């Protein structure tokens, strides 16, 4: 079987993780890596042990080498997604594009439109859709054990983003709720199985304040800690989402834990069904189900190794394998561009709600193009 030839574009934390993961898969070959920073390129090469890729400092060099690769993995900053993605879609190159689809709805829809014109597979990096934990959660729901999902919640209490400027600039990242929580909004959409109607959010800056000297440390990045004074994103928020079928979801976000979330539950995502039963996933590794008609309790320990690689994000390795499978079979990716757009709409509505202190209807964003300005709140 001929190997699928990959070009890796963007080699920060996520891009290097993808390079390390794809390097371990037998039916693909990493033939290019591209990143403007030499330190990022050199770091990624330390994790690429089975392949010998060519090296580029600018991904545009690859556009002149289109016969040398079959697919691209794009992990550049959010504001560069449209710029980087569209030329490769025009060349009909299959694409794994990191989440969010883009930092605003206009860029997202431009990418989506180009993908519809292309013969290429476009998969979005919503990695939870490939996780053993959340697939098992959906499987339990499909068995009817909880009836219809009526309420959901997520507690995302964690340390700050890596100390890289674009993360902290809403104009380039889209904001914290876009960059970080599109994952969790997608889980809400997936489990509830209905369209979001409106969003209300309250957020601001408690600790990582604009104009103050903030020492930014992060538990997982390779970038060194540094002081940052220019931060236009929220460091906390509460977000409530109303769905068309009457279900509601709530996300609590805190971005200033030190050194990281040390609580036993870690990331917690839970739901309540219409029969009164509860299901809660903790630390991307366990599920507990309680209540309902028979008042029983069940604890499920999930295999957290087969879907990942070397301690990476839950679902990360299955995400890569299913991307390659989609290329070979033509099967639409589970994390499609439409799935990514639905999650982005909630995130953009939440960012707008924080600014304007009101309910924001999803229909407003679709009709207006989803533009979100930023304003610092404390």
Q: Total domain count for the chain?
A: 2
> Smallest Cα–Cα separation from 155: which of 312, 261, 259, 232?
261
Residue 371 has pLDDT above 70, yes or no: no
- The reply to whether 54 falls in a domain is yes
- The reply to whether 374 falls in a domain is no
- The reply to whether 16 falls in a domain is yes
Residue 326 has pLDDT above 70, yes or no: yes
Task: Identify the domain containing residue 359 by its residue range.
Answer: 132-304+337-368
The answer on 33 and 114 residing in a single domain is yes
203 membership: H or E segment, kind and range: strand 196-204
Tokens of 25: 């898969």
| Per-residue confidence (pLDDT) for residue 375, from 0 to 100 | 54
- The reply to whether 317 falls in a domain is no
The answer on 194 and 160 residing in a single domain is yes
Q: What is the pLDDT of residues 89-108, one digit of tens each?
A: 999 999 999 999 999 999 99
- Of the chain, the percentage scoring pLDDT greater than 90 comes to 94
- The reply to whether 183 falls in a domain is yes
- The reply to whether 309 falls in a domain is no
Q: Domain ends where: 67, 101, 127?
A: 127
The answer on 251 and 113 residing in a single domain is no
Residues 352 and 200: their CA atoms lie apart, in Å, by: 9
Residues 156 and 153: their CA atoms lie apart, in Å, by: 10
| Per-residue confidence (pLDDT) for residue 373, from 0 to 100 | 55
Is the CB of residue 95 less than 8 Å from the CB of residue 85?
yes
Q: Domain ends where: 93, 127, 161?
A: 127
Q: What is the CA radius of gyration of the chain?
A: 20
Q: What is the pLDDT of residues 7-64, one digit of tens each?
A: 999 999 999 999 999 999 999 999 999 999 999 999 999 999 999 999 999 999 999 9
Report the CATH number at residue 45. 3.40.50.720
Residue that is written with structure tokens 């999902």 in the block: 149
The answer on 84 and 142 residing in a single domain is no
* Mean pLDDT of all residues in 149-166: 97
Q: What is the pLDDT of residues 121-143, one digit of tens each?
A: 999 999 999 999 999 999 999 99
The answer on 164 and 55 residing in a single domain is no
Q: What's the pTM? A: 0.96
Is the CB of residue 39 less than 8 Å from the CB of residue 164?
no
Q: Domain ends where: 127, 155, 172?
A: 127
The answer on 217 and 138 residing in a single domain is yes
* Mean pLDDT of all residues in 261-271: 96
- The reply to whether 318 falls in a domain is no
Residue 374 has pLDDT above 60, yes or no: no
The answer on 92 and 182 residing in a single domain is no
The answer on 267 and 143 residing in a single domain is yes
Q: Can you say whether the dihedral through the CA atoms of 19, 160, 170, 239 is positive or negative? A: positive
Angle between helices 38-47 and 13-23 (to 10 degrees): 30
The answer on 60 and 141 residing in a single domain is no
Tokens of 307: 């879907």
Three-state SS sequence of the chain: CCCEEEEEECCCHHHHHHHHHHHCCCCEEEEEEECCCHHHHHHHHHHCCCCCCEEECCHHHHHHHHHHCCEEEECCCHHHHHHHHHHHHHCCCEEEECCCCCCCHHHHHHHHHHHHHCCCCEEECCHHHHCHHHHHHHHHHHCCCCCCEEEEEEEEECCCCCCCHHHHCHHHHCCHHHHCCHHHHHHHHHHHCCCEEEEEEEEECCCCCCCCCEEECCCCCCCCCEEECCCCCCCEEEEEEEECCCCEEEEEEECCCCCCCCCCCCCEEEEEECCCCEEEEECCCEEEEECCCCCCEEEEECCCCCCCCCCCCCCHHHHHHHHHHHHHHCCCCCCCHHHHHHHHHHHHHHHHHHHHCCCEEHHHHHHHCCCCCCCCCC
Res. 327 pLDDT band, cuts 50 70 90: very high
The answer on 57 and 164 residing in a single domain is no
Find residue 268's DSSP bridge partners: 155, 282
The answer on 137 and 114 residing in a single domain is no
The answer on 114 and 263 residing in a single domain is no
* 139 contacts: CB under 8 Å, gap ≥ 6: none
- The reply to whether 323 falls in a domain is no
Report the CATH number at residue 196. 3.30.360.10
> Smallest Cα–Cα separation from 170: which of 229, 232, 253, 107?
232
Residues 359 and 201: their CA atoms lie apart, in Å, by: 8
| Per-residue confidence (pLDDT) for residue 370, from 0 to 100 | 64
Is the CB of residue 363 less than 8 Å from the CB of residue 370?
no
């Amino acid at each position: 079987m001929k190997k699928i030839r990959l070009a890796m574009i963007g080699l920060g934390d996520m891009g290097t993780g993808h390079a390390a993961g794809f390097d371990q898969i037998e039916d693909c070959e990493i033939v290019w890596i591209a990143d403007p920073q030499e330190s990022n390129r050199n770091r990624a090469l330390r994790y690429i042990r089975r392949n010998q890729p060519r090296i580029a400092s600018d991904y545009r060099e690859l556009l002149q080498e289109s016969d040398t690769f079959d697919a691209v993995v794009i992990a550049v900053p959010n504001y560069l997604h449209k710029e980087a993605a569209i030329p490769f879609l025009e060349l009909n190159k299959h694409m794994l594009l990191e989440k969010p689809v883009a930092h605003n709805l206009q860029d997202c829809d431009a990418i989506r439109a180009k993908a519809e014109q292309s013969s290429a597979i476009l998969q979005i990096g919503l990695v939870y859709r490939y996780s053993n934990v959340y697939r098992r959660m959906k499987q339990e729901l499909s068995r009817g054990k909880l009836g219809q999902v009526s309420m959901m919640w997520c507690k995302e209490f964690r340390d700050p983003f890596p100390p890289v400027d674009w993360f902290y600039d809403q104009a380039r990242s889209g904001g914290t709720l876009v960059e970080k929580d599109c994952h969790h909004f997608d889980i809400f959409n997936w489990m509830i199985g209905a369209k979001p109607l409106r969003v209300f959010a309250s957020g601001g800056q408690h600790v990582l304040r604009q104009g103050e000297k903030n020492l930014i440390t992060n538990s997982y990045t390779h970038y060194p800690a540094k002081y940052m004074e220019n931060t236009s994103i929220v460091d906390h928020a509460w977000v409530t989402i109303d769905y068309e079928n009457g279900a509601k979801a709530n996300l609590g976000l805190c971005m200033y834990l030190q050194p990281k979330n040390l609580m036993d539950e870690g990331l917690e995502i839970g739901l309540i069904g219409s029969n009164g039963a509860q299901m809660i996933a903790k630390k991307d590794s366990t599920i507990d189900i309680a209540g309902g008609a028979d008042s029983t309790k069940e604890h499920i320990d999930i295999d957290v190794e087969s879907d990942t690689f070397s301690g990476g994000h839950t679902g990360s390795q299955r995400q890569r394998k299913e991307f390659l499978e989609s290329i070979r079979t033509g099967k639409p990716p589970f994390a499609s561009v439409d799935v990514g757009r639905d999650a982005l709409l909630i995130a953009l509505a939440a960012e707008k709600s924080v600014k304007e202190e009101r309910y924001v209807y999803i229909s407003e964003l679709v009709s207006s193009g989803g533009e979100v300005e930023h304003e610092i709140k404390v």
